[in-house]
Chains A and B, each alone.
Chain A
Amino acid sequence: DSGVTQTPKHLITATGQRVTLRCSPRSGDLSVYWYQQSLDQGLQFLIQYYNGEERAKGNILERFSAQQFPDLHSELNLSSLELGDSALYFCASSVEPLTDTQYFGPGTRLTVL
C-alpha cells in the first residue's frame, strides 16, 4: 500500500459524458501528478499540482481539467468523453518534486462505451 488512494476503482460511462476522478495523496506530500496509461500511448504525464497550484502540464487534452484543494486532495475532470479516453488513470504524490520518489495510487480504470 503506497498510501495514495484513488476513487473510484472502476468507472464505466458513455461517450459524451463527464466524470470526476479523485486522489488523496500520502500524508505530508505536497505534489500531486496525474498520469494516463493506455495500450497505445503507454504511461503519459497529464498534469502536476504543488500545494494547490498548477506546476506543469503534459499531454492533457483541453477536455480534461484538474485541481488540487486546500486539503491537498486532487480531482481530475474528464468531459465530452470519447472512446479513446478509455484508460487507466494514475495519481502519484511526492514530498518534493524532481528527486523525491513518486508514490502511485492503484489507479482508476475508465471505460467509455
Chain B
Amino acid sequence: AQSVTQLDSQVPVFEEAPVELRCNYSSSVSVYLFWYVQYPNQGLQLLLKYLSGSTLVKGINGFEAEFNKSQTSFHLRKPSVHISDTAEYFCAVSSLANQAGTALIFGKGTTLSVSS
C-alpha cells in the first residue's frame, strides 16, 4: 500500500528565511504527487503537483518542489517565507496501484510557523 511520510511535524522559521518541508513516499509504481496547504479553519488548497516531465515543479505563492524518484522524495521549498505562510502543509500521493483508487493518501502534515 502507498504511504507518505512527512519527516517534520513542526517547522519554526523566521520571516524572510528559506524553508524546506520534507516528504517521502513509498511506492513501486508510478505515482502522482501533491502538496496542499491548510490555513486555520479552512479547507485544503493545492500548492503544486507533479504528474510527469520536469522534476522541478513550481506552484503558487512562490513555492516549488522537486521530485526525486531514486530517493522517493518530494520536498517543498520556498526561498523566503512570509508571516502569511503560517499554515499546515500536507504532502499527498495518488496512484492507480492504490487500493483507494484515485483518492489521495496524505501525510500527517507539517505545521509551518513563521515569526518576525
Stretch of B21-29, B79-87, B96-104 at the chain-chain interface: B96-104
Q: Please tell me if A56 contacts chain B, counting CB pairs below 8 Å.
A: yes
The 8 Å CB contact of B44, one of A45, A98, A104, is A104
B32 near A99 with CB under 8 A, answer yes
A2 near B45 with CB under 8 A, answer yes
Q: Please tell me if A52 contacts chain B, counting CB pairs below 8 Å.
A: no
Known: A42-B109, A43-B90, A90-B43. A99 touches B104 (CB 8 A): no
Report Cα–Cα, A106/B95, bound state, in Å.
Answer: 25
Q: How large is the interface on B (under 10, 10 to 19, 20 to 34, 35 or more residues)?
A: 20 to 34
Residues 87-116 (chain B) with a chain A CB within 8 angstroms: 90, 94-96, 98-109
A1-32: CB near B (< 8 Å → 1, else 0) gives 01010000000000000000000000000010
Q: How large is the interface on A (under 10, 10 to 19, 20 to 34, 35 or more residues)?
A: 20 to 34
Residues 85-104 (chain A) with a chain B CB within 8 angstroms: 90, 92, 97-99, 101-104
> How many CB-defined contacts (below 8 Å) exist between A and B?
62
Report Cα–Cα, A101/B42, bound state, in Å.
Answer: 17
Known: A43-B90, A43-B109, A98-B32. A2 touches B100 (CB 8 A): no
A39-58: CB near B (< 8 Å → 1, else 0) gives 00011110010000001111
B106 near A42 with CB under 8 A, answer yes
Chain B positions within 8 Å of A58 at CB level: 100, 103
A6 to chain B, nearest CB (A): 8
B109 near A55 with CB under 8 A, answer no
Chain B positions within 8 Å of A101 at CB level: 34, 46, 49
B42 near A106 with CB under 8 A, answer yes
Report Cα–Cα, A107/B103, bound state, in Å.
Answer: 17
B103 near A48 with CB under 8 A, answer yes
